[in-house]
């Protein structure tokens, strides 16, 4: 049924797809974007790529839609940048328009910087820091999830892993400093 809040009937809504070519473990929209923007950014991360290696990819969606009408948008999705990722990506979080955090099957938390090239709109992803959060020197334990304290310029990050530990970390000036660890009873 067509209503004022949803001007499209179910038969009028198109499905948009874009072939990535790898198994995707996570997809996240960049923070603080409004659907009414003509350009939206999102990130995808892979797992199980074997010898091909896993990656973190930054995409841009551009719309030719006039948002003051009820016309169906025409989305143009394109790859902005791809960078290798060690291990399977187990979680992916945008901090802001300039930083992406990932957790990995090898026990690491990674910080990627989204660099905006001066003079044009091109962006690139650069691994800024990688820090082991789970496991020890002789064995890696998967870091299964991460969460950032929202709405702060120097957030705390919490990571959890298969080792049963919860690690709290402070993010300041592209550095991760462990501020606490809750050990499992195992």
Round to whole Å and give the CA distance between 126 and 114: 7
Which CATH number goes with the domain that contains 73? Answer: 2.130.10.10
Sheet with 99-104: strands ordered across:
89-94, 99-104, 108-116, 123-132
The answer as to whether 17 is a domain residue is no
Asked whether 90 and 145 are in contact (CB, 8 A), the reply is yes
Residue 102, pLDDT score: 92
The answer as to whether 2 is a domain residue is no
Residue 56, pLDDT score: 92
Lowest mean pLDDT among 28-37, 110-119, 173-182: 28-37
Number of domains observed in the structure of the chain: 1
Q: Which domain holds residue 165?
A: 22-182
Round to whole Å and give the CA distance between 46 and 77: 18
Residue 1, pLDDT score: 44
Mean pLDDT of the chain: 76
What do you get for the CA distance between the two ends of the chain, in Å? 55
Model confidence pLDDT, tens digit, residues 123-156:
777 777 777 776 666 677 888 999 988 767 677 8
Q: How confident is residue 8, by pLDDT bands cut at 50, 70 and 90?
A: very low
The answer as to whether 15 is a domain residue is no
The answer as to whether 165 is a domain residue is yes
Residue 89, pLDDT score: 93
The answer as to whether 103 is a domain residue is yes
Model confidence pLDDT, tens digit, residues 159-171:
898 888 888 888 8
Q: How confident is residue 91, by pLDDT bands cut at 50, 70 and 90?
A: very high
The answer as to whether 11 is a domain residue is no
Model confidence pLDDT, tens digit, residues 13-45:
566 676 777 788 898 888 766 555 567 888 889
pLDDT greater than 70 at residue 67:
no
In the block, which residue shows the tokens 């003509």? Answer: 38
The answer as to whether 95 is a domain residue is yes
The answer as to whether 13 is a domain residue is no
Residue 82: left if φ>0, alpha if ψ -120 to 50, beta else—which one?
beta
């Amino acid at each position: 049924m067509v209503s004022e809040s949803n001007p499209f009937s179910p038969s009028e809504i198109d499905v948009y797809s874009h072939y990535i070519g790898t198994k995707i473990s996570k997809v996240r929209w960049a923070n603080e974007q409004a659907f009414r923007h003509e350009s939206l950014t999102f990130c995808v991360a892979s797992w199980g790529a074997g010898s091909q290696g896993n990656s973190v990819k930054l995409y841009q969606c551009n719309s030719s839609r006039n948002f003051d009408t009820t016309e169906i948008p025409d989305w143009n999705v394109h790859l902005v940048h791809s960078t290798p990722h060690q291990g399977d990506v187990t979680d992916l979080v945008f901090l802001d328009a300039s930083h992406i955090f990932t957790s990995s099957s090898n026990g690491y938390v990674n910080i990627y910087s989204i660099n905006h090239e001066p003079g044009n709109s091109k962006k690139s992803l650069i691994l800024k820091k990688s820090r082991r959060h789970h496991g020890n020197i002789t064995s890696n334990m998967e870091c299964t999830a991460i969460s950032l304290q929202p709405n702060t310029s120097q957030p705390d990050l919490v990571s959890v892993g298969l080792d049963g530990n919860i690690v709290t970390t402070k993010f300041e000036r592209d550095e991760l400093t462990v501020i606490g660890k809750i050990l499992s009873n195992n």
